[in-house]
Amino acid sequence: MSPPLEVRSFRSVFALERRIYRLDTLRLNPSGIPLRGIAYAAALVVVALAAGALPPTAWLDPVIPWYVRDLGMPVSAATLLGALRIEGRPFHLAARALLGHRLARRRLDALAPLPLHAGCWRPPPILCIPDGSDARFRSLRYRGPGAVLVHHPHLRAEWSPPRRADITLHPLAGERGRATVLELAPGAVLEVRTS
């Protein structure tokens, strides 16, 4: 009577793999030959035959015997690839996943890949200027065209040959006074200096 078969994991039971156990009356390896390995071997034999006919690898013809080059090396590589598992997946599935990841687009929009020539959406320029409701001036530079309303007392300097700015405002101590409107031509620069 044979001893009972011990199954340590049901993963090995349910990991079905097609294998060939016999050819007509010829019994093969007791564990069988996986069909995936035969497919790998056939593909690698075709690659070896094509590579032997091409100029870059044709120099191997006199160096390596034909049965090693066209049969031995492809069958050995197929055996290795058949046994190889990358993250639990067979070689061809892992290679396809790695190649797909390498060629996939990295930028997503709502979890969908962006079109190839899609530009990035950028918000339009937003201009935020203090309205003077603070207790103090804030340092800023503003390029016209536009109008600026100033409520606080200030000292204004207008530069005829423009230096860093066309108009410079320096705050003065005191309460809010009469409002002043400054109109800026296109390209004119207003600078508020707090120090």
pLDDT digits (tens, 9 = 90+) for 81-135: 988 888 888 899 999 999 988 887 777 777 777 776 767 777 787 766 666 566 6
Convert the pLDDT of each residue in 15-40 to its tens digit.
677 888 888 888 888 888 888 889 99
Say what the pTM is.
0.47
Which runs of E-coded beta strand occur in the chain? 19-20, 22-23, 26-27, 33-34, 85-86, 89-90, 108-109, 112-113, 140-143, 146-150, 154-158, 167-171, 180-184, 189-192
Q: Check: CB of residue 164 under 8 Å from CB of residue 180.
A: no
Which residues lie closer than 8 Å to 176 by C-beta, 6 or more apart?
A: 151, 152, 153
